[in-house]
Amino acid sequence: MKAPLHGKMMEVPLTVSSLLAHASRHFGTTEIVSKRIERDVHRYTYRDCEKRAKQLAQGLIALGVEAGDRVGTLAWNGYRHLEAYYGTTGFGAVCHTINPRLFPDQIAYIVNHADDRYVLFDITFAALVDVLAPQCPNVRGWIAMTDEAHMPRMSTAASSYEALLAQHDGDFEWPAIDERCASNLCYTSGTTGNPKGALYSHRSTVLHAYGASLPDAMGLSARDSVLPVVPMFHVNAWGIPHAAPLTGAKLVFPGKDLDGKSLYELIEAERITCTAGVPSVWLGLLRYVKENGVRFSTLDRVIVGGSALPPAMLRTFKDDFGVEAVHGWGMTEMSPLGTLSTLNCEQAQRSADEQRRLREKQGHVVYGVDMKTVGASGQALPWDGVTFGELYVRGPWIIDRYFRNDVSPLVDGWFPTGDVATIDNDGFMRIVDRSKDLIKSGGEWISSIDIENIAVAHPAVAEAACIACFHPKWTERPLLIVVKHPDLDLSRDDLLRFYEGKVVRWWIPDDVVFVDELPHTATGKLHKLKLRERFGDHILPPDQKVEQ
């Protein structure tokens, strides 16, 4: 066979530093705005950011950090954290973002497993660092992201980030790096077992940033003012800190105040057009705007992912506030973007009901991701919107292995997500459940997500979780655990009646337990494991007549 003809194009590596270099050169005066821990607002530009990221790189190199070394961060969304994203990866080190909401023991495990050389931390986490430091003997230094004047009192010998930067002038060229080298490291939250590391490469990160920016993904552009509410310690804030410099969008960081009032005021003050985060933060924002009778003047779309977007929330955003809620799905192992629920021309001509049904799903893939659902014997399932099976994915920004683990998680080249889903004729995927959260009643499956979505559509329900509860005849039956709106009345029977006509009879939960609050994981999802431990043996009322 004839040898293929090679293209005659430049081989420019896809490096993370090139994203910031591009923004600094071509959108040099575009702003990056941060609410600081100190509660003031900090403003500078992409050009300033690149200079300081270079100062940080010089500082870390002077401290002996080498290409391939991991540098941890324990920080909120802010400009110094952004500098850390680029000041580490820019010279070949790996930016390891650590979720501070995990238990200290888990964090210590992660820091040690990653073998972090240095850890940069926001001063809010000073006490946490004092707990971690004795457990992490291989960390050479802990660097507080503040100036000398604001250094916290600590038992750990920490140094000041600003003092480190002040020793360097930023006169530094980002070195050429092989695009297959590691750039970022994120651990899954490990609700079961130890956390596992997803080690992204420069190439996968840049490709993901391209994918995330596409019009039918987050649709970012230089006309946007984007607010990542999703934390930078949670899968790189879904890629926004990379996609914003790629597109030249203005970046706004909320710091640590994620309550409805703080978010609303920031959205208005900085003329935010696009924001992204998990459903629980939007509950707070929507409550604030409703209670105060205020409107959004610039907000165009909210990317909602991490957990299922309740249909009631989608409707409220659209019908009451004219804001598009775009449902997205992904996971740490996928950098994280997989699917988004934007419509094509033909779908946008369908009836309002049909459009809504599509938008409620987790959506279509972004180029770069392929997906399929498989049955029990590994066979590919039809795309009929009804048949469900385990969701498998593959693509250039999906992991091949976990960090420091030689066992491949792949099955025939595909990554099994652990989610159970349907795919319809339009290529829209719907997550039925996480496989471990599905409720198996008498051998038939019930989707806990569907049961929760109906509950939160009831005006008196603030939040709801559905778990499997032991049943002597059916093995498992659904139990609903509910947080009521404080000023509204709701009884168990009212809520169970609300299900009639919305699901088949045997899907209706057997009982309802009212609680003051529901436990959440470190990434803001319902902590089903904890709920199962607490309520899995709840005694169900005897008069239940389930007919399947």
Q: Which is nearer to ligand ADP, 96 or 327 (CB)?
A: 327
Q: Which is nearer to ligand ADP, 65 or 331 (CB)?
A: 331
Q: How far is the CB of 535 from ligand ADP (least distance, A)?
A: 21
Name the DSSP letter for residue 411: B
Paired residues of 422 in beta bridges? 430
* From 31, 445, 506, 530, active-site residue: 445
Q: Which is nearer to ligand ADP, 123 or 518 (CB)?
A: 518
Q: Which is nearer to ligand ADP, 254 or 305 (CB)?
A: 305
Structure tokens at 485: 């709106």
Q: Quickly count: other Cβ atoms within 10 Å of residue 372's Cβ.
A: 17
Q: How far is the CB of 51 from ligand ADP (least distance, A)?
A: 33
| Backbone angles phi and psi of 313, in degrees to 5 | -70, -40
Q: Which is nearer to ligand ADP, 225 or 523 (CB)?
A: 523
Distance CA 339, CA 330 (A): 7
Distance CA 328, CA 313 (A): 14
Q: How far is the CB of 460 from ligand ADP (least distance, A)?
A: 24
Q: How far is the CB of 301 from ligand ADP (least distance, A)?
A: 15
Q: Which is nearer to ligand ADP, 27 or 282 (CB)?
A: 282
Distance CA 438, CA 431 (A): 11
Binding site for ligand ADP (CB under 6 A): 188-189, 191, 305-308, 327-329, 331-332, 336, 362, 417-419, 431, 434, 521, 523, 525
Structure tokens at 149: 């004047």
Q: How far is the CB of 306 from ligand ADP (least distance, A)?
A: 5
Of 365, 364, 363, 359, whose CA–CA distance to 311 is shortest?
A: 359
* From 88, 89, 188, 422, active-site residue: 188
Is 247 one of the catalytic residues? no
> Which stretch of DSSP H or E encloses residue 315?
helix 311-315
* From 440, 444, 475, 533, active-site residue: 440
Distance CA 22, CA 210 (A): 13
> Which stretch of DSSP H or E encloses residue 433?
strand 429-434
Of 63, 37, 53, whose CA–CA distance to 126 is shortest?
A: 37
> Which stretch of DSSP H or E encloses residue 199?
strand 197-201
Q: Quickly count: other Cβ atoms within 10 Å of residue 166's Cβ.
A: 13
Is 73 one of the catalytic residues? no
Is 188 one of the catalytic residues? yes
Q: How far is the CB of 290 from ligand ADP (least distance, A)?
A: 23
Catalytic residues: 188, 333, 440, 445
